[in-house]
Structure 1
Amino acid sequence: MNTAAHDPVAIAQGYIAVWNETDPARRAALLEAGWSADAQYVDPIMQGSGHAQISALVGAVHQRYPGFRFNLLGKADAHGDHVRFSWTLGPSGAADLIQGTDFVRLDAGKLRSVTGFLDKVPVGA
């Protein structure tokens, strides 16, 4: 696939929507629509494979940081089947506390793997 086939902003927004979804059933539907069944997620703190494990990771973030929201930071871009974007996480309506950058590999237009990096994490977060 070529870069023109992918809208990196839409992919990043769909990804952020999964992380912001607090309802497990709606989150499962978002994962089904946008992620391959055997998708992989890994960052310095956690990892998971498949929709159920990835949904559980998202749920754990909501449990640890209730009321926090993810937002895109800067511009998402793509190269072939790879997308890169940065994000923030913080209390809704307040300054962000955590920032990261994620690298996504697509397969048939769905997220196949995500490698996340934490760029800013306060002590104790």
Structure 2
Amino acid sequence: MSQTIEDLIRTYFEAWSERDARRREAVLERVFSPDAEIIDPDWTATGHAEIVSAVGEAREKLGELDLSLAKVISVHHDVALFSWELTQPGSLTVPVATGYGTVIAADGHIRRAYNFFG
């Protein structure tokens, strides 16, 4: 059974939360198509190797902060809009940062992801 787009987004955020580089790489390679692309305000990555490297570098910069899916807002035609938040570990206070993103999926993988700061 193929993953839903909501499942793909949750898995994408699992990768962002993963501190172990090898496990993060495995998750990213599982969720993204080989020719996928992430377009972020600060960088663009195409293909598994670049995506793994870019997410790893970004994860390092986040330090102990937690990046998590806040809500899948809407889904149609293999495109999803979601919101995310960046918080202190274990914090129930106001997020440090928030934003939005979209993913375009095909054949059970993310083909393109766009990240936006809120």
Whether these two folds match at TM > 0.5 is: yes
1:116 paired residue number: 115
The question of whether the paired residues in 1 share the 8 Å contact of 2:80 and 2:103 is answered with yes
For 1:109, the aligned partner's letter is G
Q: CA RMSD in A?
A: 1.7
**Please, what TM-score do these two structures have when normalized by structure 2?**
0.86
Structure-2 separation of matches of 1:29 and 1:86: 24
- Do residues 14 (structure 1) and 11 (structure 2) align? yes
Residue 77 of structure 2 is matched in structure 1 by 80
Between 102-111 and 89-98, report the one with greater CA deviation. Answer: 89-98
Gaps of 5+ in 1: 120-125
Counterpart-to-counterpart distance in 2, 1:6 and 1:55:
21
Asked if structure 1 preserves the Cα contact closer than 8 Å seen for 2:65 and 2:86, the reply is yes
1:93 is paired with a residue whose SS is: coil
Match of 1:89 in 2: 86
Q: Percent identity?
A: 29
1:86 aligned counterpart, secondary structure: strand
Amino acid at match of 2:108: G
The answer to whether the aligner puts 1:101 opposite 2:100 as a matched pair is yes
Structure 1 distance, partners of 2:111, 2:72, is 21
Deviations 1:82-105 (A, max 9, x none): 111110012211242111111101
Taking the aligned partners of 1:93 and 1:70, their CA distance within structure 2 comes to 12
Alignment partners' CA distance in 2, 1:100 and 1:47: 17
Q: CA deviation at 1:47?
A: 1.1
Counterparts of 1:10 and 1:76, CA distance in 2: 14
Residues 6 and 78 (structure 1), Cα distance of their counterparts in 2 relative to 1, 3 Å cut? farther
Ranges of 4+ aligned residues in structure 1 off by more than 4 Å: none
Question: Contact conserved, 1:8 with 1:76, CA < 8 A, in 2?
Answer: no
SS of 1:92's equivalent in the other structure is coil
Contact 1:12–1:76 under 8 Å retained in 2:
no
Identify unmatched segments of 5+ residues in structure 2.
Answer: none
Distance 1:78 1:10 in 2: 12
Q: Distance in 1 between matches of 2:55 and 2:88?
A: 16
Matching residue within 45, 56, 76 for 1:59 = 56
